[in-house]
Structure 1
Amino acid sequence: MQPPLRTEIPKHQDYGEDPLAVRESEKYQEEYVESFVDKWDELIDWDGRSAAEGQFFIQQLRERGAKKVLDVATGTGYHSVQLLKAGFEVTSADGSPVMLAKAFENARRQGHILRTIHADWRWLNRSVHDLYDAVICLGNSFTHLHDDNDRRKALAEFYATLKHDGVLILDQRNYDALLDHQVQPTHNFYYCGDNVRAEPEHVDDSLARFKYSFNDGSEFHLNMFPLRKRYMQGLMREVGFQRVDTYGDFQETYREAEPDFFIHVAEKEYREVS
Structure 2
Amino acid sequence: MLKDVQVESANELFEVREQEFGDDPIAVRQSDHYAQEYVGGIVDKWDDLIDWPRRAEGEGRFFVDQLKSRGARRVLDAATGTGFHSVQLLEAGFETVSVDGSPQMLAKAFRNGLENGGHLLRVVNADWRMLNRDVHGEFDAVICLGNSFTHLFSELDRRKALAEFYAMLKHDGVLILDQRNYDALLDGKATGKSTYYYCGEEVNAVPDHVDDGLARYKYTFDDGGEYFLNMYPLRRDYVRGLLHEVGFQRIDTYGDFQETATEHEPDFYIHVAEKRYVEEPGD
Structure-1-length-normalised TM-score: 0.97
Do 1:174 and 1:262's aligned partners in 2 also have CA atoms closer than 8 Å? yes
Corresponding residue for residue 210 of structure 1: 217
Q: How does 1:1-274 map to 2 (within 5 A)?
A: 6-7=9-10, 8-9=12-13, 10-110=16-116, 111-255=118-262, 258-274=265-281
* AA matched with 1:128: V
Q: How many aligned positions are there?
A: 274
Task: Using the TM superposition, give the Cα deviation of residue 34 of structure 1 relative to its aligned residue in structure 2, in angstroms.
Answer: 2.0
Do 1:172 and 1:262's aligned partners in 2 also have CA atoms closer than 8 Å? yes
Do 2:193 and 2:206's aligned partners in 1 also have CA atoms closer than 8 Å? no
Do 1:73 and 1:92's aligned partners in 2 also have CA atoms closer than 8 Å? yes
Do 2:193 and 2:205's aligned partners in 1 also have CA atoms closer than 8 Å? no
Worse-superposed segment, 247-256 or 119-128: 247-256
Using the alignment, how far apart are the partners of 1:220 and 1:186 within structure 2?
16
Using the alignment, how far apart are the partners of 1:257 and 1:244 within structure 2?
22
Task: Using the TM superposition, give the Cα deviation of residue 185 of structure 1 relative to its aligned residue in structure 2, in angstroms.
Answer: 2.8
- In structure 2, runs of 5+ residues without a counterpart are none
Using the alignment, how far apart are the partners of 2:127 and 2:264 within structure 1?
32
* AA matched with 2:66: Q
Using the alignment, how far apart are the partners of 2:29 and 2:47 within structure 1?
26
RMSD of the TM alignment (CA)?
Answer: 1.5
Once superposed, which parts of structure 1, at least 4 consecutive aligned residues long, lie more than 3 Å away?
A: 1-6
Do 1:23 and 1:223's aligned partners in 2 also have CA atoms closer than 8 Å? yes
* AA matched with 2:228: H
Do 1:73 and 1:138's aligned partners in 2 also have CA atoms closer than 8 Å? yes
**Identity over aligned pairs, percent:** 64
Using the alignment, how far apart are the partners of 2:209 and 2:178 within structure 1?
21
